[in-house]
Amino acid sequence: MSSIMAAGAGVEEGRDLVEQKKDKKEEVAELLKRLELGQVPDDEIRRLIRLQLDRRIQWGYKPTFEQQVAHVVNFAQSLRKMKIATAMEALDSEMYELPISLFKLMFGSTICKSRYVLT
């Protein structure tokens, strides 16, 4: 009987986690909306930036040397698996397929393209 109760408690905990994630997504969406409208005070923005930086810093640090090395190796392997452009000529030709008039609208009358300045 206690195993059935324990299983039921596990299901309830799973539901709670799903609800917490849903609530967090709603909170983030609300915060983004408030940011777009300029309704978030600077102090709150600074606090949120610090929290995010702390999380990112802690993500990279592990308690033991072995865990740290394993983390870095896994990260390096994941980077190697990513599709990254290696042919720079192809990348340059694809990047500049847009009409120059669009770049003029975006960047003004002076546009830098590689080593050349178009006016």
**Domain extent at residue 9:** 2-86
DSSP, collapsed to helix, strand or coil, labels residue 109 as coil
* Claim to verify: residue 106 and residue 62 sit in the same structural domain: no
* Claim to verify: residue 82 and residue 93 sit in the same structural domain: no
Q: Predicted confidence band at 90 (pLDDT cuts at 50, 70, 90)?
A: low
How many whole angstroms separate alpha carbon 119 and alpha carbon 112?
9
Q: Which is more confident, 92 or 21? A: 21
* Claim to verify: residue 63 and residue 8 sit in the same structural domain: yes
* Claim to verify: residue 70 and residue 97 sit in the same structural domain: no
112: left (phi over 0), alpha (psi -120 to 50) or beta: beta
Q: Predicted confidence band at 115 (pLDDT cuts at 50, 70, 90)?
A: very low
| pLDDT value for 83 | 76
- In the chain, the amino acid numbered 36 is E
* Claim to verify: residue 45 and residue 99 sit in the same structural domain: no
* Claim to verify: residue 22 and residue 80 sit in the same structural domain: yes
